[in-house]
Each structure stands twice: as structure tokens, then as C-alpha cells.
Amino acid sequence: MNLSHLKCSLCGAQYDTKQIRYVCPKHGDSGLLDVIYDYEKINSATSAAEISKSKDLSIWRYWEMLPIANHEAVPPLRVGWTPLYEATRLEKELGLRSLWLKDDGMNPTASFKDRASAVVVAKAKELGVDCITTASSGNAGAALAGLSASAGIPAVVFVPRTAPEAKVAQLLIYGSRVFLVNGTYDQAFELCLAATKEFGWYSRNTGYNPFTSEGKKTASLEICEQLASLKSSKPGEWTVPDRIFVAVGDGNIITGIWKGLRDLLTLGWIEKMPKLMGVQAAGAAACYNAWKSGSESITPVDPHTISDSICVGLPRDGTRAVRAVRETGGAYITVEDEEVLKAMRTLARGAAIFAEPAGATGYAGLIKAVREGLVDRDEELVVVVTGNGLKDIGSAVEAAGKATLIEPNLDALREHVSEK
């Protein structure tokens, strides 16, 4: 294993990785830790060219860059190596040269969050813990439920009672113990942290567990590797897009994507840092607000948006999420629910990707960025689609409308067809 140490993102204090540690004790629960590797050791163990030859079509192809020592700890469920599609029709529609969609709804529990849960469950297995817990707006919980079932470790999940029914069903079918919290995601998070302390369960809470962003970073490793192979670059030369658009709720996905890119830069496997574009729902825009005001400290908001996965009032990984955008020269964008519903239709009709609202939020942000002239039409753009549309059927129906009810005869059909 090439893991070196944990480093506080606020004060820089360093901690070893021998015992379970979540945050830097100097800042309450907000001193999130960055996972630092011995990069020389990684470079002597492998290379971009070597990894490109791997037949492991999962996040574990990046083994040397992940914090797990024991191969047997890896849960069998296959996570990652999701498709990266060039959206040629949408390129034309928007007048763009190069637009790629990373469809993370193709993960086993149908969201990006499987990446984090796979790494945290492997770590839990390595540590020999007997129960894992998380708070979730739905997807992180489903990912933990699925990966825990895969590894045979019990899980306890806290979700707000407003979580979409399909997501709650997903939690239950995998056999997790599920608590519907009569409150917000933020309150579910607090309750889960208290449960971690009270019962000694291993916490997968997003950001709070330093290894969640390590799982999530694999998305940017994949983007750079896949983009190179799809553009038939030389083996071993990975390609960086100009910008990556991603929806931001608690901030951990954009932080993870940034971390993966920083690791690649440190290793010398890529030559530049893409600009990261954080897209938030206008009704839950705490990171946008901090970025706009030039601050790094997050002021909680009272969140409301159709995009339940990013309906977060207090982004737990907000500080790093603001830095990810600021330090890469990107921007934050907010989108209204109407724009998200429209983006769901466009993604499905123009690229055949069926996204849940949060999954389409990154694309809604791209449309707005193009409209406002924030991107150069010649740039190479990647949008991360973070979750599948079947997760939230209510919103899909709202976006798509209802089918036509018809009597079972041709006359009735003729009438409808001629109406069209």
C-alpha cells in the first residue's frame, strides 16, 4: 500500500493511518482530512501506461493509488469504469466542439456514490469492523447498503423521511437497517455522527470519513484514461479535458474529482489541471454563495430543490468544494428546478442517458454556462451524470409527462395520430 498519512485540510496537521481517524480534532467535526500517498512509491510501482493495460474494469484498476492494503478486503460488486460517451448530437445542438458525458448511473446501485462506498467498505473489512453506518439523502445509503451486502457486513442508514421511495426500497432490499429521520439530510447527518460515537459503528459519512473522496477520485482518473483511449492518444498518455461539470450537494464529489486530478498532476501523468465547474440547485446553493462572496467558510441555507441528492443546507465538504473550483479557475453556477427537468429530457432524448434530477444538474449547468458565455465553444468539456433516473420516478414523470391512454382499436389510434 502506498498510503502515507492523513493531512488536515484546515491546519495541515498530519496523522498516521494506523487507527480509525475521521477528522482533525482541532476543529470539531469540520477538520476534514486529505489522504496523502507516497507518490514516488506509486511511480516506481506502476505507470499510466501500465494501468492502461489492466483488464480490471473497475475502480480497482487504480490499486496503487487507493488506500487499501489487502486485495481480499475488496467487495465483489463491480464499481466504476462507467461509460464516457461523446454526445455528438448535443454538441451540434449547443454549438460545441467536444462534449463528453460520464454516465455514473451505470454503477451497480445506479449512482456515483458506489465509488465511495466500495473504498469505505474495503477499508471497513480491513479494519475488521462489525457495522458500518451513514447518513444519506438516498444514494450514498443505497451504495453503502449494496456494497455492505456484497461484503457481508451489516449497515445502518439514516435518510430524511422525504427521500424518494425507490431509494428507500433500495436500502431495504439489500438488508440494511434503515431509519427514516423526521427531519432534513443535515439532521440525519448529525444523528448518524452521534450514533457513530455512541455505538462505535464505522462511519461512512460523506467527507467525515476521509476515504469517501478517495473512492470518488477514481472518476477523474477514469475520465483522463478513457478520454485518451477514445481519442486514440499514445498508450500511457492520459488526456485532460478543459472543464468538468459536476453537481454539488455536500461537496464531496467535486472534492474527490479534484483530488484525483491533483494526484495525477503530482505523479506527472497529466500536464494541466482542468477547470472544475460546480453546479448547485438555486435553492441549495451554500457553496455557490461562499464562492461568490470570495469566502471559504460556508453559511448554511434552508435547502429546497427537486434534486433530492443535492438538497443540502450545510455542505459537509463545502470548504474543499469551494477551493476545488477557485483553485482550478472554474466557476460555480446555480440552476432552477425547471432547468433541471429540461436537462433530464435533453439528456435522455439527445444522448439516451436517463438521469435523476441531481444527475442532470451538471448538464443543466453546462447549458447555462454556454448561454452565458462562460465556456469557449472550442473547449473539451466533460459532464458527470451522477445518478440514474429510475431512482426518482416522481421527478421523471414530472420531466417526461404522461403517456396517452387509448381505446384498443385503430380508429382511436388514427384520431390521435392525426391530432399530432
Q: What is the DSSP letter of 200?
A: -
Least Cβ distance, residue 377 to Zn ion (angstroms)? 43
Least Cβ distance, residue 266 to Zn ion (angstroms)? 21
Least Cβ distance, residue 106 to Zn ion (angstroms)? 37
Of the candidate spans 8-16, 99-107, 230-238, 338-346, the one that interacts with Zn ion by CB under 5 A turns out to be 8-16
Q: Which amino acid is at 127?
A: L
**Cell numbers given for 292:** 461568490
CB closer to Zn ion, 32 vs 84: 32
CA R_g for the chain: 21
* Residues 6+ away with beta carbon under 8 Å from 101: 84, 85, 87, 347, 351, 353, 363, 382, 383, 385
Q: Does 24 bind Zn ion (CB under 5 A)?
A: yes
Least Cβ distance, residue 14 to Zn ion (angstroms)? 10
Q: Does 26 bind Zn ion (CB under 5 A)?
A: yes
Q: Does 14 bind Zn ion (CB under 5 A)?
A: no
Least Cβ distance, residue 8 to Zn ion (angstroms)? 3
- How many residues of this chain bind Zn ion (CB under 5 A)? 7
CB closer to Zn ion, 28 vs 128: 28
* Cβ neighbour number for residue 177 with a 10 Å cutoff: 14
Return the residue of 1, 13, 106, 129 that touches Zn ion, per CB under 5 A.
Answer: 13
Least Cβ distance, residue 66 to Zn ion (angstroms)? 24
Q: What is the DSSP letter of 233?
A: P
Return the residue of 3, 6, 8, 101 that touches Zn ion, per CB under 5 A.
Answer: 8
The span from the CA of 355 to the CA of 369, in Å, is 20
The span from the CA of 272 to the CA of 68, in Å, is 27
- Backbone φ and ψ of 335, nearest 5°: -130, 145
Least Cα distance to 176 among 195, 157, 190 occurs for 157
The contact mask relative to Zn ion for 31-60 (x = CB under 5 A, - = no) is x-----------------------------
Cell 483553485 sits on residue: 327
Q: Note the residues at the interface with Zn ion (CB under 5 A).
A: 8, 10-11, 13, 24, 26, 31
